[in-house]
Amino acid sequence: MFSNSQISEQTIPKLAQLDFAPLDTYATREALISTFVFVLPISIVVFCVAMFAAKAPNHILMMIGGGLALLNTYIAWLMHAIVKSTGVALREHDLVLKRGVFWKKTTAVPFNRIQHIETHRNPVERKLGLSSIKFFTAGGMGADLELNGLSVERASRMRQYILSKEQHHDSE
């Protein structure tokens, strides 16, 4: 039977009032290791080039060394802050992610728009027992939502939940 009951605007769930769950305990460690695997060698190479190839005077070397140390400290702080600022909320019909230190971004993807889900585990993640999930919709060329720093079990549960919701939607 057709029904067309009125919906009160007040009853529409509000995104801004969600409680977001943080990432896994090891997420910060994983982000730091994955970043400094690249950043640290580059910093050392830059310093070595300045020291041996360019033969920079001592005061310039100190400035470069100090600058690189500051930059590395800033990157470490930023990675830490990004992980701390990241929160995930699963609702009945969508997945919401908030992330960002200076640019705080909140993104929602309805389950019935998800085309496929990919799970990734890089060597660092495997070592720390973590997993990443990528969600793809029909919009955009890459992943629409990427969740790093989830424990394997939590990522698997989340994936299963979303897939079951998708199937439920498809069968309707």
Partner 1 sequence: MTANNSSQKQWHTLSPLSIIYFVIHFIVRFVKDGLLNMAPAFVIFLTQVEDKLYWGIVAAAGLSVLLIVYAVLYYLNFRYKLTDHEVILRKGVFKKERVTLNFAKIQNINLAIPFYFQPFQLVKCTFDAAGSAQQEVALPGIKSQLAQVMRQNVFSYKESHTTANMPTADDEQNTVSEKPILTLTNKEVAKFGLMSGMMFLVLAAIAPFIEHVVDYSKDQFVGPLAAFYGGFIDSQDVAMIVAAVSVVAAMVFLFVAASVLGAFLRFYNFELYFENEKLKRISGLLERHQMSLSKSKIQTVEIKKNWVGMLLNRYIVSCKQVENGHCGKAKKGQAFILPVLTYAQLMNAMTLCWQTVDLKRIAFTPISGAFWRKNWALFCVLPSTIVVGFVYNTSGVFAWPLWLAVLIVTAFMCWLRCKRYGIYSDGEQVFVRTGFVGKTVSVFYIHKIQKISYTQTPLMKRAKLVTLTIQLASGRVRVPYLPEALVLPMVDEALYKAESSNLGWL
Residues that bind partner 1 (CB under 8 A): 7, 9, 12-16, 93-94, 100, 102-113, 115-116, 136-141, 144-145
Nearest residue (CB) to partner 1, 7 versus 53: 7
Smallest CA-to-CA distance from 129 within 144, 158, 150, 101 is with: 150
CB nearer to partner 1: give 73 or 115.
115
The CB-of-82 to partner 1 minimum distance in angstroms stands at 14
* DSSP code string of 44-61: HHHHHIIIIIS---HHHH
Q: Which one, 52 or 102, has the nearer CB to partner 1?
A: 102
Give the nearest distance from C-beta 124 to partner 1 in angstroms.
27
φ/ψ region of 85 (left if φ > 0, alpha if ψ in -120 to 50, else beta) reads: alpha
Bridge pairing between strands 94-99 and 87-90: antiparallel
Indicate the residue among 34 and 112 with the shorter CB distance to partner 1.
Answer: 112
Minimum CB–partner distance for residue 104 and partner 1 (Å): 5
Which CA distances in Å does 43 have to 9, 50, 86, 132?
54, 11, 27, 27
Smallest distance, Å, CB 170 to partner 1?
A: 11
Alpha-carbon distance of 128 to 145, in angstroms, equals: 22
Shortest distance in whole angstroms from residue 135 CB to partner 1: 9
Is there a contact between 94 and 110 (Cβ–Cβ < 8 Å)?
A: yes
Measured from the CB atom, is 29 or 99 closer to partner 1? 99
